[in-house]
Amino acid sequence: MPVSEIKKVGVIGAGVMGAAIAAHMANGGVDVVLLDIVPEGAEDRNVIAASAIQKLLKTQPAALMHKSFARRIVPGNLEDHLDRLADCDWIVEAVIERLDIKQDLYRKIAAVRRPGAVISSNTSTLPLHRLTEGLPQDLCQDFLITHFFNPPRYMRLLEIVAGPTARPETVEKVRAFADERLGKGVVMCKDTPGFIANRIGIFWLQCAVVTAMEQNLPIEEADAVIGRPLGIPKTGVFALLDMVGLDLMPHVLGSMAESLPTEDPFHAIYQEPALIKKLIADGYTGRKGKGGFYRLNRDGGGKVKEALDLSSGDYRVSEKPKLASVAAAKKEGPRALLAHDDRSGRYAWSVMSRTLAYAASLVPEISDDIPAVDEAMRLGFNWDMGPFELMDKIGPAWFAQRLEADGQKVPSLLKAAGEGTFYQDQNGRLTAFGTDGAYHPVKRPAGVLLLADIKRGAAPVAGNGSASLWDVGDGVLCLEFHSKMNSLDFKILFLLRKALKLVPQGYRGLVVYNEGSNFSVGANIGLLLIAAKVKAWFLAEWMVRLGQNTYRDMKYAPFPVVVAPSGMALGGGCEMMLHADGVQAHGETYCGLVEVGVGVVPGWGGCKEMLWRWAKSKKRPGGPMPPVIKSFETISMAQVAKSAHEAKDLLFLRPEDGITMNRDRLLAGAKAKVLALAEGYTPPAQETIQLPGRSALAAMQMAVDGFMKNGKALPHDGVVSKGLARVLSGGDTDVTETVSEREILDLERSVFMKLARHPDSIARVSHMLKTGKPLRN
């Protein structure tokens, strides 16, 4: 069954996880049946599933990529609507972790499912061989474990376990659907306790907690060390457990202790500390409770972050530690942290040496290849590097020697690597060390194109400190940003201008794409602060002109330009999208014109492009006012689309722009779009627009005054909004006149520069650079 034939999915169990899986199936574009039990005495027999769908509409962060997708989910119950599973292509079970209940349910499903329909369990604790024991052979052939991580929309990992009798086509159709339609990184696992990510991740978390308690280490130090210095999210360990929920840990730990063999190293660190038991009993279960290892003390109307003292069990004011070992890691890498002799360095070594050695000892038990282990930890726990990649960063030989000197057992796979590394570039191709002692090519799924792979065997066509140009094949160039947070500076604009000259000399088009966490957080606003300090406003105006001219030249280039954003595409990043011939956006693209947050208006043509898009929109009312009002609402409120689907509502994306669910397929999709557009390509014609001028300006200024009078807008918000109103209305124009793009750009630049000089705008820029958060004057 090809991917396109999975058109309907059944989900059984409408709890938090089951409902979230149903939501993500709807995100993938298929119809969903969501079933649960009938509560005793319920008037609405579908109440559990129906209530779960309503909760999905309110959940934050949103489980649905667009609220309208909730209509794809039909609620029902197991007593009246089991027959609705008959036309489902994939049925996912997400009920309570009790073997008897699950097996009884599978037998009921078997009676109604059509031949070839997949049944899978979302279990995280029960092995497949126990789930399928005693079940009909034809059901076992179509049965899998599909372990989603919570929340399914945002956590990319999907672990699949297939039994010895599973049909290859069953595995492939689920793998392909999860990859292409759900955006999952699919990792095939063996039928072992905890599969891959939880097997290693739970060991790591337990080791970190127990060791911190033994060493009486402040939890802030533990999180600072077992965090960013190692490429692990800044939540570290204790803040992560607060997010997950402390009450979940005893169940997970107990399950692992019960299912792992007695010789497994997990048993040496397994314990249920009395302190954690007391926290749970007192309602301190983490963020969903009264607090956890951290809490917010709101006594007296304040909001003070407090941290738990692991020795006394009392809370104290949380402090941000300054650690020599962390400073060393920032300069020299993770080995410097693990080798450091301060107490935090010793703690880091104690936790990570055992965790990495444990991971190395589990191959081939949990997986036959190390890339699968690394991918599971990257996607399941958001590590920047998997355990083997981290060992390569540290140095496998050094790590093995240190383990031996420390009296720890050196895993056989680590010994076999010797003086080498677990990964090598061989003839421009990434290879991984195998259990046979040889290196094997790391395979990518068909249709995946990664810039990281292209860069292994090639030099950039051009580049500077902030950006590079790469030949991605078939006559397509790719502009990659690599500045801090991919903020847009003059170097990026210079290289974009160079690309505009290079493409006509033998290429067919240009893709703008990178593999950072965010496409771009916007223009580098630090330039405004520099201009303010030295009174060099000509520098800021030069940068605005450079951005306007570059984006305009890109829009009217004699070849197609496709922008491929993922993550945040804010401010100037969003303006780049607006000027492209096409956009191929990752489903998780968060875009918007947010410049008002730092006291200015979009300065690189964003105002102009929004006006043009709303003017052309088929869903807007007639007349010159609606495009102005819609653009004003979007920009003045700094509206940000929380998905690529929402971006179409706000016109940041056009109806014809594409959406790619899997991040790893984004470059291939953008390249294909460039090649399609290149056939018979002609640049867009320059256009004019009719704007209402003074009448619209007066109306918007009155609206702003009303907001300020009612306390809904602060004084400087009013200043900025009135400046924006002047740009969008066309200033002194009249509805009988036409306005050119250049005239709007000139007005945009004039208002931008006037606002940029305002003391309150300078204060907002300064605050944003220091804290990463907008200042409300």
DSSP strands (E only) in 503-657: 509-512, 561-563, 567-570, 582-586, 589-592, 640-641
Q: What is the CATH number of the domain that holds 51?
A: 3.40.50.720
From the list 33, 25, 30, 26, the residue with the least C-alpha distance to 50 is 33
- The predicted structure's pLDDT at residue 776: 64
Q: Is the residue at 61 inside a domain?
A: yes
Q: Considering 626, 653, 678, which residue would you say is the last residue of a domain?
A: 678
Q: Is the residue at 390 inside a domain?
A: no
The residues facing 433 across adjacent strands are: 439
Same-domain pairing of 68 and 123: yes
Same-domain pairing of 707 and 661: no
With a CB cutoff of 8 Å and minimum separation 6, the contacts of 79 are 37, 38, 45
Asked if 577 and 569 count as a contact pair (C-beta separation under 8 A), the reply is yes
- The predicted structure's pLDDT at residue 301: 81
Same-domain pairing of 282 and 178: no
Same-domain pairing of 244 and 175: no
Q: Is the residue at 717 inside a domain?
A: yes
Same-domain pairing of 646 and 630: no
Exposed e or buried b for every residue in 513-532, given b needs 16+ CB within 10 A? bbbbebbbbbbbbebbeebb
Can you give the pTM of this predicted structure?
A: 0.95
**Sign of dihedral through CA atoms 115, 117, 121, 126?**
positive
Tokens, residue 24: 């993500």
From the list 466, 411, 453, the residue with the least C-alpha distance to 433 is 411
Q: Is the residue at 162 inside a domain?
A: yes
Count CB-CB contacts under 10 A for residue 760: 17
How many domains would you assign to the chain?
A: 4
Q: What is the CATH number of the domain that holds 648?
A: 3.90.226.10
From the list 15, 77, 12, the residue with the least C-alpha distance to 43 is 77
- The predicted structure's pLDDT at residue 57: 97
Q: Considering 339, 371, 403, which residue would you say is the last residue of a domain?
A: 371
- The predicted structure's pLDDT at residue 4: 52
Same-domain pairing of 44 and 165: yes
Q: Is the residue at 723 inside a domain?
A: yes
Asked if 217 and 224 count as a contact pair (C-beta separation under 8 A), the reply is no
The series of mean pLDDT values per 10 residues for the chain, 777 residues long, is: 76 97 98 97 96 96 97 98 97 96 96 95 94 94 97 97 96 97 98 97 97 96 97 95 93 93 96 93 93 92 92 95 96 97 97 98 96 98 98 98 97 97 95 97 96 94 98 98 96 98 97 97 91 90 97 98 98 98 98 96 97 91 89 96 98 98 98 97 93 91 89 90 96 88 96 95 91 75
Give the structural domain span for 365: 197-371
**Sign of dihedral through CA atoms 468, 472, 473, 477?**
negative
Rg (Cα) of the chain, in Å, rounded?
A: 28
Same-domain pairing of 26 and 151: yes
Q: Considering 141, 168, 189, which residue would you say is the last residue of a domain?
A: 189
- Condensed to tens digits (0 to 9), the pLDDT of residues 420-444 reads 999 999 999 999 999 999 999 999 9
Same-domain pairing of 601 and 562: no
Name the 3-class secondary structure at 481. Answer: strand
Q: Is the residue at 388 inside a domain?
A: no
Sheet holding 294-297, edge to edge: 294-297, 304-308, 315-317
Same-domain pairing of 457 and 516: yes
Q: Is the residue at 751 inside a domain?
A: yes
Tokens 């002799």, located at residue = 341
Same-domain pairing of 590 and 621: no
Same-domain pairing of 34 and 116: yes
From the list 191, 140, 307, 321, the residue with the least C-alpha distance to 238 is 307
- The predicted structure's pLDDT at residue 1: 42
Q: Is the residue at 260 inside a domain?
A: yes
User: What is the spatial distance between Cα 452 and Cα 615, in angstroms, rounded to a whole number?
Assistant: 40
Asked if 717 and 601 count as a contact pair (C-beta separation under 8 A), the reply is no
Q: What is the DSSP letter of 294?
A: E
Same-domain pairing of 455 and 566: yes
**Helix, strand, coil in percent for the chain, rounding step 5:** 50, 15, 35
